[in-house]
């Protein structure tokens, strides 16, 4: 099962539009073009609102594009073999 925390978001574009006493926030992943929207209370602050929008974006990406998971890196020089042996 794909988890949202496994999605690698390298860059997120945010758009804030004030609507009355609220903010409409759009978060866009430029790599995939996937966009999410949410309504937020501006009293929560920009940092928290961005974090929540990015989390929602990661969730949507994990459902739509499960192939965009974080790649686990092997240690440098490791090729999946055991220790090198000379015969």
What single string gives the DSSP state of each residue in 22-68? EEEEEEE-TTT--EEEEEE-GGG-HHHHHHHHHHHHHHHHHHH-TT-
* Higher per-residue confidence, 63 vs 86: 63
pLDDT tens-digit map of 15-70: 999 999 999 999 999 988 999 999 999 999 999 999 999 999 999 988 887 665 55
pTM greater than 0.75: no
Q: What is the mean pLDDT of residues 70-85?
A: 51
Query: Residue 1: what pLDDT?
Result: 55
Q: What is the mean pLDDT of residues 6-12?
A: 81
């Amino acid at each position: 099962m794909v988890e949202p925390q496994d999605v690698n978001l390298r860059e997120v574009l945010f758009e804030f539009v004030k609507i009355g006493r609220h903010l409409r926030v759009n978060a866009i992943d430029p790599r995939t073009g996937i966009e999410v929207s949410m309504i937020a209370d501006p009293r929560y602050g920009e940092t928290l609102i961005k974090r929540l929008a990015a989390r929602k974006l990661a969730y949507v990406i994990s459902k739509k594009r499960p192939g965009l998971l974080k790649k686990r890196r092997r240690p440098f020089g490791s090729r999946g073999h055991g220790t090198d042996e000379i015969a």
